[in-house]
Amino acid sequence: LHMQNVQDNMEHALEHMPEVFGHVVMLYINCKVNGHLVKAFVDSGAQMTIMSRTCAERCGIMRLIDKRWSGIAKGVGTQKIIGRIHLAQIEVEKAFLTTAFSVLEDQSMDMLLGLDILKRHQCIIDLHRDTLRIGSANIETKFLSENELPENAKLTESIPM
Amino acid sequence: LHMQNVQDNMEHALEHMPEVFGHVVMLYINCKVNGHLVKAFVDSGAQMTIMSRTCAERCGIMRLIDKRWSGIAKGVGTQKIIGRIHLAQIEVEKAFLTTAFSVLEDQSMDMLLGLDILKRHQCIIDLHRDTLRIGSANIETKFLSENELPENAKLTESIPM
């Protein structure tokens, strides 16, 4: 009887919310850092904005890193923080957003926009319109569609923490 | 000279965006599952909605778990998935949202609302108004203030992935 209920629930779910069995296209936006295109992951669950060393090299901003702020980032395993860039500008749809971020040694994602920058710039993650609005700059940018995602994004897995 | 630039940048940042040196209050909302209060973490960076076993027991919904969907969740270390609840309702501000979620054996967070439910219910994470709007139910709920956060939230660290 119990198993029958569970089975009924699954059939109901398959019929009425098939998307919960599928995979979800994660949230990325296009931006530019020092004139270089970067596809940035938008993550309300991350405390801080980060960039990978590879991406910082490509953007030509390694010299801005303050290595006095190096260390170890915990949370999910540990990662080496090379240092921090205290003042950088991220260009989104022709607007320039001032921010600070940490640069990580081994990080598969190019850039991740965390809650620090999202709050600072009064962002609105709108999953109805599928856009990120940036209140401080009064602009809106579309989240990337699945075929525009960076390669490694297609490999990311589900679970946080 | 280089070090001087970095130092100037840091001083500028300290003056104009002191919040990027502080810590950020993460996003939680109050909801109810089977009548039990749950403080749920709102995470646009997570692919799927999950609940801890402890929380599922407290909410009295263990019997709804379909154990045929057990397995291992990867992403950030690995975690044991006990199974999946295909059809559940989450009450937010008197509205009931239908969803499915996985139940994890070892998970310090009670519940995490991932991009699957956030998209399904056309949510808007509004960091200007500091609210979560749920389009499908036409309601809005305040993010919890720091003193309302669950104990373990105060321990969470920065880095994703």
Per-residue pLDDT of chain B (161 residues; tens, 9 = 90+): 677 888 888 888 887 777 666 679 999 999 999 999 999 999 999 998 999 999 999 999 999 999 998 887 765 567 899 999 999 999 999 999 999 999 999 888 999 999 999 999 999 999 999 999 999 999 999 999 999 999 877 654 444 43
Residue B147 neighbours by CB distance under 10 Å:
7
Structure tokens at B11: 């001083």
Contact B119 A19 (CB under 8 A): yes
pLDDT in tens, A110-143: 999 999 999 999 999 999 999 999 999 999 999 9
pLDDT at A5 over 90: no
Dihedral-angle region of residue A11 (phi above 0 means left; psi in -120 to 50 means alpha; beta otherwise): alpha
Instruction: Give the burial string for A133-160 (b: 16+ CB within 10 Å, else e).
Output: bbeebebebebbeeeebbeebeebebbb
Contact A122 B127 (CB under 8 A): yes
Active-site residue set of B: 43
Share of chain A above pLDDT 90, in %: 66
The verdict on whether A43 is a catalytic residue reads yes
A104: nearest Cα among A88, A86, A84: A84
Contact B24 A48 (CB under 8 A): yes
Higher pLDDT, A22 or A133: A133
**Chain A residue with minimum CA distance to B113:** A45
Q: For residue A76, what pLDDT band results from cuts at 50, 70 and 90? A: low
> Residue B96 pairs with which residues in a beta bridge?
B91
Mutate to test the interface with A, among B125, B131, B132, B158 (most CBs of A within 10 A): B158
User: Of A16-20, A77-81, B73-77, which has the strongest mean pLDDT?
Assistant: A77-81
Residue B135 is nearest to which of A13, A47, A128, comparing CB atoms? A128
**Set of chain A residues whose Cβ sits within 8 Å of the Cβ of B124:** 124-128
pLDDT at A113: 97
CA-to-CA dists, residue B151 to B146, B148, B155, B156, angstroms: 10, 9, 7, 10
Q: Which position has the token pair 């940490």?
A: A102
Structure tokens at B93: 């501000």
**Burial of A22 from C-beta contacts in 10 A (0-12 / 13-18 / 19+):** exposed
**Chain A residue with minimum CA distance to B98:** A17
Interface size A-B, in CB pairs within 8 Å, comes to 225
pLDDT at A145 over 80: yes
A71: nearest Cα among A103, A46, A99, A101: A103
Contact B124 A126 (CB under 8 A): yes
The length of chain A in residues reads 161
Distance from CA of A141 to the nearest CA of B (A): 15
A159 CB-near residues (< 8 Å, 6+ apart): B46, B47, B48, B50, B73, B74, B75, B76, B79, B104
